[in-house]
Amino acid sequence: MRQVFRGVLLLLLLLIVFPPPANARDQQPPVVRVGTEGTYPPFSFHDPGTQELTGYDIEVVEAIAAKAGWRLEFVETQWDAIFPALDAGRIDLIANQVSRNDERQAKYGLSSTYTHSRGVVVRRTGDDRVKSIADLKGKTTAQSSTSNWAKVARDAGARVEAVEGFAQAAALLTQGRVDAIVNDNIAVLDYLTTTGSKDVEIAGDAGQAGSEQVLALRKTDTALLAQANQAIEALRADGTLRGISEKYFRADVSVRDGGAADLSQGRGQRSTWDVLRSTAWPMFVGLVKVTIPLTALSFAIGLVLALLVALARISPFRVLSGLARAFISVIRGTPLLLQLFIVFYGLPQIGLKFPPFTAAVVAFSLNVAGYAAEVVRSAILSVPRGQFEAAATIGFGYAQALRRIVLPQAARTAVPPLSNTLLSLLKDTSLGSVVLLTELFRESQLAAAESNEFLALYSFAGLYYWVICVALSAAQKRLETRLNRYVIA
Amino acid sequence: MTDIRIEVSGLHKAFGSLEVLRGIGFTTPRGTSTVLLGPSGSGKTTLLRSLNALDIPDSGVVRIDDVSVDFSLLPPGKAGRATARDLRAQSGMVFQSHNLFPHRTVLQNITEGPVVAQKRPPDEVVAEARVLLDQVGLADRADSYPYQLSGGQQQRVGIARALALKPRVVLFDEPTSALDPELVGEVLSVIRDLAAQGWTMVVVTHEIRFAEQVADQVLFLDGGVIVERGTPERVIGDPQEERTRRFLRRVLEHG
């Protein structure tokens, strides 16, 4: 049994370190990985009924793929991670209303325009301080920090509060935490009709002549860009683009001056209960397929690493204990989110690229190792020296003494603090949402962006986490009882 | 040669600037008991722990049966540890604070070494362990955990654990010092039996009366050297050295 367990663990480790090659990526048709927010209705969002990713940009890029003969793989991530993901080669193009501007033109391969729109300034209803883009000077707006709209707002002299998407921005504005939002006319209209909100209104145009939205690719992918442009022109010519646009906006936004978008029909409002009911299952899937495996795997690997680091830390070899000390210090002295970003976005720059799940496992298990190493170390040191000596006198070497005599006793001391580590880890895996992992929390974000039901959805996600934590705490109690059975009550 | 079980010569050991052993030498014939007496800090426990390399002397030679270690030639690292392990395998040890494994039953405490380290057949080891438990009067406590036993019972398990290794010699480090007075007797009586059975033993103790009964040879240590040695009749009954007399007077007043 022990052997089997050890074998499985080894296999898992190997899988983490050497993920199997994505099979035959170069077969026809080529797979194109599309980065999109999935939280930017009506361009990119999840249909509340089917949970499928849909929207204007999604349908456009699907039509392009059909023409160009691509197979699509959608990768959903928040806006501020999209360009880094493109740079790191985790996606091949962005379909998320990327506005054309000079900086992007210089750095990326931008396609032909498939949306013509204009920016608008949104204010709290009746707030006369905000009438036009000129009034933003000295005010605060809420934007995705790397978006073109953020740039427009900054250029107008506004202070930009960074948010993850339009829905969050609208929430901040409604709550009075910011003064205005600069965003796309269509996105704003969609929000207003979908939510029926009377709290915010369009104050006026953002002062630009109009903006053009395009697909963004890596500068070097010239062949892919050529295919995309060819397909877009063909779709424009055969009326497909106009068709998609009219379905969503009752106007043709794929050409300049194609009429004013009309979203008054909206996407339909749903009750909070409906939203929760349709989101409960995807959240559960995120929990079972990502959150729990990520937690379990990271914790198991992290514990093994922690034991090694702890042993290195108490070893008489200076170099070894110094390295262990440095590792612990770095892990505990830097934010987990930063560690995650270093593994996910940083390491690819030196050629170490992991898939999202693997990257998260690497980052989380290293983090667990850093914290648990000190727990394991103090637990080992809490076992009386005489136990080591007694083990030595019955013929045990260091490893045998450790495994059969010291660690089982150290476990008793270590279980309560390690349980804390495990509970923290479970909740910390929500950070996986920023490295393209569709785990529990990310699912709630997706649903919240589409429905604006922040309180209900985040509370519901919290309930899932809490239930798992309660179960883990119960397991901890049982384990402690078991380990205490040979100690005076 | 075969009659001498333990042969120690020129043993030196310092902890930092403190010299604990300063040239110790003695021999123990097979089947005899040697008792180490001396005030605390005299080096007797360090000497005992040198015999199984729990403490590594700086120089000197320890031979037990056919394993001989010259500590001044002990290689560093892995080779040295292996050599120390060879010497350690010659003896069993009974600790002052018994050091039983709290997470193992009485029986498991005894069988752990023979089964896991010596890789002997479990059935055979268990059978032997039950005989040993019977011998120390604990046949009915095989499945108890150490915390369920009295101090004296724990120490008797400790003795059985040492004997189960079938060692050449048994080392006792103040086996009754941590016990309540009324429990001392049962442990000493077990050790007395072992002496009668012909085990070769080295015992560090403060029990002078016990030493008189059980010892074939008494070594009185002070300041890291053997001050006086001989039969208990001579060393305890008629000490020649002032230091020995002073020590005995003090101990006997309390005892």
- On whether any CB of chain A is under 8 Å from the CB of B55, the answer is no
Give B66→chain A minimum CA distance, Å.
17
- On whether any CB of chain B is under 8 Å from the CB of A400, the answer is yes
CATH number of the domain that residue B23 is part of: 3.40.50.300
**Whole-number pLDDT of residue B211:** 92
What band does A27 get if pLDDT is binned at 50, 70 and 90?
Answer: very low
Closest CA relative to residue A188, chosen from A176, A175, A211, A205: A205
Q: How far is CA B27 from the centre of its chain?
A: 15
User: B116–A400: do the CB atoms touch at under 8 Å?
Assistant: yes
- Residue range A78-114, pLDDT digits in tens: 888 899 889 888 899 999 999 888 889 999 999 999 9
Q: Specify the length of chain A in residues.
A: 489
Break chain A down into helix, strand, coil percent, rounded to 5. Answer: 60, 15, 25
Question: Looking at the predicted structure, is the pLDDT value of residue A22 above 60?
Answer: no
When pLDDT is averaged across residues A16-34 and rounded to a whole number, the result is 60
List chain B residues with CB under 8 Å of A397: 81, 85
User: A394–B89: do the CB atoms touch at under 8 Å?
Assistant: no
Give A470→chain B minimum CA distance, Å.
28
- pLDDT tens, per residue, chain B with 255 residues: 458 899 999 999 999 999 999 999 999 999 999 999 999 889 999 999 999 999 999 999 999 999 999 999 988 888 888 999 999 999 999 999 999 999 999 999 999 999 999 999 999 999 999 999 999 999 999 999 999 999 999 999 999 999 999 999 999 999 999 899 899 999 999 999 999 999 999 999 988 999 999 999 999 999 999 999 999 999 999 999 999 999 999 888 765
Q: How far is CA A311 from the centre of its chain?
A: 35
Give B211→chain A minimum CA distance, Å.
24
**Whole-number pLDDT of residue A3:** 59
Peptide bond into A29 cis (omega under 30): yes
- Residue range A158-178, pLDDT digits in tens: 999 888 878 888 888 988 899
Domains of chain A: 30-115+211-249 (3.40.190.10), 119-205 (3.40.190.10), 272-484 (1.10.3720.10)
For chain B, how many structural domains are there in total? 1
Which residue of chain A comes nearest to B89, CA vs CA?
A395
What residues have CB less than 8 Å from A148, skipping those under 6 apart? A98, A99, A101, A104, A211
pLDDT top residue among A49 and B244 = B244
DSSP A19: P
- Residue range A225-282, pLDDT digits in tens: 999 999 999 999 999 999 898 888 878 888 887 777 777 666 666 788 888 888 888 8
Percent of chain A at pLDDT > 90 equals: 52
**Whole-number pLDDT of residue B103:** 92
**Whole-number pLDDT of residue A2:** 57
What residues have CB less than 8 Å from B217, skipping those under 6 apart? B26, B28, B32, B33, B34, B35, B229, B230, B231
Task: Collapse the DSSP code of A212 into the 3-class scheme (helix H, G, I; strand E, B; otherwise coil) and give the result.
Answer: strand
**Whole-number pLDDT of residue A15:** 53
Give A489→chain B minimum CA distance, Å.
10
Pairing of the two strands B4-15 and B59-64:
antiparallel
- On whether any CB of chain B is under 8 Å from the CB of A487, the answer is yes
What band does A407 get if pLDDT is binned at 50, 70 and 90?
Answer: very high
- On whether any CB of chain B is under 8 Å from the CB of A126, the answer is no
**Whole-number pLDDT of residue A19:** 47
Query: Between A and B, how many residue pairs show a Cβ–Cβ distance under 8 A?
Result: 62
User: B52–A393: do the CB atoms touch at under 8 Å?
Assistant: yes
Query: What is the domain range of residue B46?
Result: 4-253
What band does A184 get if pLDDT is binned at 50, 70 and 90?
Answer: confident
- On whether any CB of chain A is under 8 Å from the CB of B54, the answer is yes
- On whether any CB of chain A is under 8 Å from the CB of B56, the answer is no
pLDDT top residue among A272 and A331 = A331
Which residue of chain B comes nearest to A391, CA vs CA?
B113
**Whole-number pLDDT of residue A29:** 67
First-to-last alpha carbon distance for chain A, in angstroms, is 31
Q: Specify the length of chain B in residues.
A: 255
Task: Give DSSP secondary structure letters for A263-321.
Answer: -TT-S----HHHHHHHHHHHHHHHIIIIIHHHHHHHHHHHHHHHHHHHHHHHSS-HHHH
CA distance A96 to A144: 13
User: B89–A395: do the CB atoms touch at under 8 Å?
Assistant: yes
Task: Collapse the DSSP code of B168 into the 3-class scheme (helix H, G, I; strand E, B; otherwise coil) and give the result.
Answer: coil
| A216: β partners | A94, A110
Task: Collapse the DSSP code of B188 into the 3-class scheme (helix H, G, I; strand E, B; otherwise coil) and give the result.
Answer: helix
> CB B75: neighbour CB atoms within 10 A?
10
Give A391→chain B minimum CA distance, Å.
8
- On whether any CB of chain B is under 8 Å from the CB of A393, the answer is yes
User: B103–A408: do the CB atoms touch at under 8 Å?
Assistant: yes
CA distance B210 to B192: 8
A309 contacts A328 by C-beta, under 8 angstroms: yes
List chain A residues with CB under 8 Å of B100: 390
pLDDT top residue among A48 and A483 = A483
List chain B residues with CB under 8 Å of A487: 102, 147
Task: Give DSSP secondary structure letters for B4-32.
Answer: EEEEEEEEEEEETTEEEEEEEEEEEETT-
Query: Of the ranges A206-210, A320-324, B144-148, which one carries the lowest mean pLDDT score?
Result: A206-210
Give B227→chain A minimum CA distance, Å.
29
Question: Which one of B87, B101, B166 would you mutate to disrupt binding with A, by most A Cβ within 10 Å of its Cβ?
Answer: B101
Instruction: Kindly report whether the global pTM for this prediction surpasses the value 0.80.
Output: no
Give B15→chain A minimum CA distance, Å.
17
What band does A24 get if pLDDT is binned at 50, 70 and 90?
Answer: very low
